[in-house]
Structures are given as structure tokens and as C-alpha cells.
Amino acid sequence: MRIAIIGYGKMGKMVEQEALNASIPVSKVIDNQDVLLASSFDKDEVAIEFTEPSVCIANIEILASKGVNIICGTTGWHADVGKVKKIVNEHNIGFLYATNFGIGVNIFWRIIKNAAQIIDKFEEYDIFGHEIHHSRKKDSPSGTALTTVQILLDNVRRKRQLITQMVDREISEDELHFSSTRGGYVFGKHEVVFDGPSDTIKISHNSKGRSSYAKGAINCARWIEGKQGFFDINDYMEGLLI
Ligand SMILES: NC(=O)c1ccc[n+]([C@@H]2O[C@H](COP(=O)([O-])OP(=O)(O)OC[C@H]3O[C@@H](n4cnc5c(N)ncnc54)[C@H](O)[C@@H]3O)[C@@H](O)[C@H]2O)c1
């Protein structure tokens, strides 16, 4: 397998570094849509896409039309997931996305799911969350936060609605407040709090760098090679947990 890097920003550079560490050849590095349109791909290439929400779906469409399998790390496009599924099926490619490729975050999500199923039975605990990222991050709340919230909403029956903005009123029992802070150089911190009248349970994940995202994306590229269909990182994780 060779990796085609689409988007040569902070993540694209980290993927290049981790591919080098893993002795996986990088076939090309593309940082602009015109170059992508003019490129062709061989059968042994998998594209790893870390760009921007505003260009990501167009990139997926271009890559799919060229028959290349895709690992997509860009966040902030998931409201259009139906459109992407259609593109993937029309072109018979393999596609896998994750809002967070870090193995630790994926373990965190599984812990949150188990915890949420327990807390569902103990109504005295309220639930809220918080995330912090560096000042240059373009989307808010983070894709990781949105996945975390979805797990909570799917597993705690009394929480039905997400609030991300400032609230200058009481919140109702079915609202889940998940706030975001942007500043400094924080790689990514996510915390879920189960707060009861007598005690507090906190589960948090704190990222120490971007390398875990790049390693996860490369491992998923190995996994998607030769596959067809629309996948997310849970499909890859299931295989590790057998
Ligand atoms: N899924 C994960 O694990 C994970 C982890 C970290 C970041 N992210 C997400 O990945 C994305 C990229 O993050 P980053 O920190 O590398 O951003 P960045 O701004 O450093 O890099 C984006 C790069 O994409 C390039 N680009 C823009 N339009 C392009 C196009 N049409 N074709 C090819 N390249 C294009 C830009 O020139 C830039 O170099 C963001 O959406 C971020 O939220 C996801």
C-alpha cells in the first residue's frame, strides 16, 4: 500500500511523518484542488484526506471518481453524510471516516457509552461536558465532542437535546450542555461530568499531540485497502476487540 496525502497542513505533515516511521511509502502530497483534479491514482494507493470542511466533500467526489479508497479525517461536514454515502456507493470505493482517529479517544467513547448506560438508571445524576482546543481550530464544537454527545443522547433516555451556546436561563432536565473553549495550544481535551447531589464522576480524555490521529488514520488505511463500502472507525475498532 502507498499513501496519497490530500491536505498538507498540520495533519497531512503528521501523516507523512508517521508513514515514514512505519516504512509506508507516500505516493503523493496534494494541497490544492486543481492538482487533485489533474492527478491519477494507482490501485495500491489509499488517499488520507485532512483538509477543510468547506472543500472536503468536493475532494471526496473527485477522489471517488478516480476510483481511489479514502480515509477521511476532516471534521465539520457530517450533516452531509447522506451525500457522501451516495458518492461512495455510486463509485464502488471504500471510504472510512472518523471525527477522531486516536485509539485513546475511541477507547474513551466506549467507556462513555458504558458509563452512560449505567447513569441512565440513576436519575439523580445530571450530565454535562466540556471541550478545549487550540485557538486556530476552525470548527466548534469539535467533531469529537459531537460524537461524544451523540453517544450520551443515544444511551441516556432523560437527555434529549444538545445545547452548545451560552445559556442565561435554567436548563431543563432533557437538555445536555456541552460547552467549547478555544485558546492557546491545547491539542484537544474532552470531559464528561456525571454530577449528583453527593458526588461527581468525571471521565476525561486529554490528547498529548497529533501523532495518535495520524497513526490511527494510517492503520485504517491498511484496513480499507481492497474493501468497498461506507465505514466509520467503529468498524475498524470492532476487529481489534474480538
Ligand atoms: N479525525 C481526526 O482524528 C482529526 C484530527 C485532527 C484534525 N482533524 C481535522 O482535520 C482537518 C485538518 O486539520 P489540520 O489541523 O491539518 O488543518 P490545517 O489548516 O493545518 O490544514 C489543512 C490543509 O488543507 C489544505 N487544503 C485546503 N483546501 C484543499 C483542497 N481543496 N485540496 C487539498 N488540500 C486543501 C490547506 O492548504 C491546508 O494545508 C480539520 O477539519 C480538523 O478538524 C481531524
For 103-206, give the CATH class. alpha beta
Respond yes or no on whether the N-terminal peptide bond of residue 197 is cis (omega within 30° of 0).
Answer: no
Mutual angle of helices 233-240 and 211-224, in 10-degree steps: 80
Is pLDDT of 139 > 90?
no
99 is in an annotated binding site: yes
Q: Which residues are catalytic?
A: 133, 137
Over range 155-169, report the average pLDDT.
96
Numbered ranges of CATH 3.30.360.10 in the chain: 103-206
Is pLDDT of 241 > 90?
no
Tell me what pLDDT residue 112 has.
Answer: 98
Is pLDDT of 242 > 90?
no
Considering the domain delimited by 2-101+210-240, tell me its CATH architecture: 3-Layer(aba) Sandwich (3.40)
Which amino acids bring their CB within 6 angstroms of ligand 1?
A: 6-12, 30-33, 36, 50-53, 55, 59, 73-76, 98-101, 139, 213
CA–CA distance, 114 with 109 (Å, rounded to integer): 9
Is pLDDT of 128 > 90?
yes
SS (H, E, C) 118-141: HHCCCCCCEEEEEEEECCCCCCCC
Q: Is 131:191 a contact under the CB 8 Å cutoff? A: yes
> Best substitution site from 10, 11, 210 to test ligand 1's pocket, by max atoms within 8 Å of Cβ?
11
Measured in angstroms, how far is the CA atom of residue 7 from the centroid of ligand 1? 6
Q: 22 to each of 18, 25, 131, 153, how far by Cα in Å? A: 6, 9, 31, 38
Q: pLDDT tens-digit profile of 202-234?
A: 999 999 999 999 999 999 999 999 999 999 999
Measured in angstroms, how far is the CA atom of residue 234 from the centroid of ligand 1? 22
Residue position matching grid coordinates 454527545: 149
Numbered ranges of CATH 3.40.50.720 in the chain: 2-101+210-240
143 is in an annotated binding site: yes
Is pLDDT of 157 > 90?
yes
The band of 138, judged by pLDDT with boundaries at 50, 70 and 90, is: confident
Q: pLDDT tens-digit profile of 92-108?
A: 999 999 989 999 999 99
Average pLDDT of every residue of the chain: 96
Measured in angstroms, how far is the CA atom of residue 200 from the centroid of ligand 1? 36
User: CA geometry: angle at 68 spanning 66 and 72, to 5°?
Assistant: 120
How many CA atoms within 13 Å lie on the side-chain side of 190?
22
